[in-house]
Amino acid sequence: MADNVTSALVAANEAFYDAFDTGDMQAMEALWAREHDVACLHPGAEPLFGREAVLRSWADILSGSGRPAIQCLDPRPIAFERAGVVVCFELLAGGRLVATNAFVTENGVWRMVHHQAGPISRPA
């Protein structure tokens, strides 16, 4: 059971970065939760709450000409019962971010409820 949740979390996290990397707004809309509160904390930005505000921000990012290429590295799942959190690095042209992504099941389907990404200082 815990192994199943762990695999599902990593797969849901991959689906998020695939949607981001390919600019697939339909996949992004499908991924975010409908029956739970959602939040999104883009780097340096004021937090966004609610499906409408969160998806609008992703539409802006994915449709923008400056959409960054992104690679997810070293995903580390923390599994609950039918929910969980994944911590991972985000590799971009400008450097590395570290991210928290949270997921929950809705009618057996894994959905995203939360994203926070923030900068890592380079070692001195």
* Window of 13-21, 22-30, 61-69, 81-89 that interacts with its own copies by CB under 8 A: 81-89
Residues numbered 83-122 forming contacts with its own copies, rule: CB under 8 A: 83, 85, 87, 98, 100, 102, 104, 113-114, 116-121
Shorter beta-carbon distance to its own copies: residue 25 or 85: 85
Shorter beta-carbon distance to its own copies: residue 19 or 54: 54
Residues numbered 4-33 forming contacts with its own copies, rule: CB under 8 A: none
Q: Residue 107, SS3?
A: coil
How many C-beta atoms lie closer than 10 Å to residue 99's C-beta? Answer: 21
* Token output for 107: 């009618």
Q: Residue 14, SS3?
A: helix
48 touches 39 (CB < 8 A)? yes
Select the residue interacting with its own copies from 14, 23, 36, 67 (CB under 8 A). Answer: 36
Judged on CB neighbours under 10 Å (0-12, 13-18, 19+), 87 is: middle
For 103, phi then psi, to 5°, come to -135, 150
Query: Does 37 contact its own copies by CB under 8 A?
Result: yes
Q: Which chain residues interact with its own copies by CB under 8 A?
A: 36-39, 41, 43-47, 49, 76-83, 85, 87, 98, 100, 102, 104, 113-114, 116-121
